[in-house]
Amino acid sequence: MNITRSDRSSIALWWWTIDRYLLTSFLILMMVGIFLVMASSQHLAQNLNIPSHYFTLRHLLFGALSIPIIIFFSILSQRQTKIICILGIFITTILLFVILFEGEKIKGAQRWFYIGNLSFQPSEIGKPLFVVFNAWLLSLWVEKTKFSGWIWSIASIILISTLLLLQPDLGMTIVMMFTWGFQLFITGIPLIIILCLIMAFPIFMIFSYHHFNHVKIRIDNFIEGKTFQVSKSLQSFESGGFWGKGPGEGFYKKSLPDAHSDFVFAVAAEEYGALICSLIIIIYGLIIVRSFYYTIHNNNLFFILAVGGLAFQFGFQSLIHMASNTDLIPTKGMTLPFLSYGGSSLLASAVTAGIILSLTKKNNPLEPFKKEIYEKL
């Protein structure tokens, strides 16, 4: 299909107004994720006595769902994006409360709902929704309306963080809190408040160390160098070298727990080498830098907080995954956006991508189309 600039169809208007460089980057990551899940999950499937392509087919299913989600959110206007995200975060917060009583407990954490053979993690979907919701609250506050957005912002992050810690999910809590803190920083809050927040983080980690056994174990193992997962991950990087051993030729993924999700970057390192890993990092970097480029050239505070917050969250989560794979920080079950296996993670990444594309497009691609119809009527 040939799409020209004179084409007035809704598809053409959408195509010429979205950022195609960002869209292409997201799609490349999705394609790379398919190959990595295919390479890293077959051995696990065999150990579980299920079809070898079980995880790959499920990943393809959620990948197929992700594309219309990206398109749907990218078509929305800024106002429509706000409404959907505000309603969505309220629903997600309710689900985070319900999951504490009705959720499925796996490896000591109660984070999932199960519908047949499919699992759903509300906190994953809540990540991008909260960023937009918080951007709306803080922008109202800074614009000096009668609405006390900063109070609701603090109350929201406290409520959501508490619900996450009760699951428990420290990693997700840290991502949410750092993103929230970054958005506060952008609003230009006083330096004393920033310093207080920075000082509060070590206190929070000390509290977590003494009250969450899995956190204590991971930190102790990290300090003592007794992490089996990380040792296998580092061996994967060493084995892959610069060029990699080739698709499907990885050895250490067979003994690496959760290779298809929490350690997918290590699988990429062994099979495709440092060269491809560097290219993956560059693609993530391009998405983040290009998103921030838009915030620099826009005066709308909501836009700056939303796009900047989403880009920060996207990059921060990626950084945690890569850092834990390379023994720079204690291990944390954090997926790599678009690359790791996980339906909720993939759909959440699609929502993030769709919202960024929506807010950064030149205008609402359907508005000229709608105007043309109204004039004919």
Could you tell me the residue range of the domain that residue 101 belongs to? Answer: 87-337
pLDDT, one tens digit per residue, over 286-322 is 999 999 999 998 999 999 999 999 999 999 999 999 9
Q: What is the pLDDT of residues 57-67, one digit of tens each?
A: 999 999 999 99
By three-state DSSP, how is residue 366 classified?
coil
Q: How far is it, in rounded angstroms, from Cα 239 to Cα 269? A: 8
pLDDT at 35 over 80: yes
Taking residues 23-34, report their average pLDDT. 96
Q: Residue type at 249?
A: E
- Residue 361 domain flag: no
**pLDDT (tens digit per residue) in 149-195:** 788 898 999 999 999 988 888 889 999 999 999 999 888 777 777 78
Residue 107 lies in a domain: yes
pLDDT tens sequence across 184-206: 988 877 777 778 877 777 787 78
Q: Is residue 252 part of a domain?
A: yes
The predicted pLDDT at position 350 comes to 97
Structural contact between residues 103 and 110, judged by C-beta atoms closer than 8 angstroms: yes
In a domain, 118, yes or no: yes
Query: pLDDT tier at 8 (50, 70, 90 boundaries)?
Result: low
Q: Are 40 and 264 in contact (CB under 8 A)?
A: yes
Q: What is the mean pLDDT of the chain?
A: 87
Three-state DSSP state, 329:
coil
Residue 45 domain-assigned? no
Instruction: Indicate whether 368 belongs to any domain.
Output: no
**In 98-219, beta strands by DSSP E:** 104-106, 109-115, 118-120
In a domain, 131, yes or no: yes
pLDDT, greater one: 110 or 262? 262
Look at residue 6 in the predicted model and tell me its pLDDT. 61
Is there a domain that residue 287 lies in? Answer: yes
Total domains, the chain: 1
| Residue 355 φ then ψ, to 5° | -70, -40
Residues contacting 267, CB < 8 A, separation 6+? 36, 39, 40, 236, 250, 253, 256, 259, 260
pLDDT at residue 220 is higher than 80:
no
